[in-house]
Structure 1
């Protein structure tokens, strides 16, 4: 298991998508962050949601679907390294990547941009875990249904942009039609962004939105397990 993790980590560091997942949210934060007030509670939660969304909807499903397409999962089934071990390792590495991306955003925002950082750590960690679990569940479902890596990539992109819009990542929710803003709040990415924004404003994440993210994580993970094919 350890050797597998080391190999997969090396492969992940060479993956262009991993670099994009780190740099795109950081670019957005730096470009727009230079013109915001230090007490802003909107931009950084948006950047965090973008980072987690890129990992969950793009990198994770593309990697798993590509492994199945190339027969890697099938070949692993004949060795002591079971395909399930690869899935566990990939989920952990993608989680580390999401944590790294968010940590980089927080470090740059807090030091370079002088942005407001929340003092209550536990609500932020809880929101991150629930939101990441929901987004990873969607990514696993994409990997389960996509016939190959290219299709998984395309499906992830097609899902990401509508979800990002509804979540208020492409346009502030107060400038969206009320109905769309309300619907977007109950999408996985929207619930994550809104909960993070609540934490940044000094409050606690809504129990309802935490429940929404938990429900997405459980229900979609069950569906992904039902449809996932190892070959």
Structure 2
């Protein structure tokens, strides 16, 4: 007798699948991560398990799991005998994070194919809107839309491992973008570089796309390094 395979196309089955509420460790991780990337936890501020456990009203065990994940993502680092802190946002962090981002995203650009025309057209409209907002002095839409823009080609590269590695970088990328989003000149330059990338996507030219992505991420790195070095000299 042949055993039939289970059907997974029954309408609504996914909605009826069991759902597990986020664990305490997951909730602590998400909260701490958001504080870090939004800049609510100042770099080098001493933190301790005991203080955070009291603040979250949870035991130290789930908190340790959250801290371990954040240390794996380089969003926290050891500080003192039992403490930890947010790493400083400096030249080396920008070079390290964007060096890895550039390596991964240029590889993604080389294999990004069959990007739906509708998604490309929608992104063209968003860039037009972002440009108009930048002219008004509003830089927020561009910064908030950065991941969506890069996902236009990264999401179609066909390499789940690459996408996963980029996702793990997002906490530090967001930290850097939050800092960069205060500078109009940098944002205007990044918009122009996005327009070159989108033009390559519209042309279906993967070689040009790779070069445009490489040029953009090199440009971001050099601009931010120069800004941070100037700030260091002014201290």
Answer whether TM exceeds 0.5 for this pair.
Answer: no
Structure with bigger gyration radius: 2
Higher share of residues assigned helix: 1
> Which one has more relative contact order, counting CA pairs under 8 Å at least 6 apart?
1
Q: TM-score, structure 2 length as denominator? A: 0.28
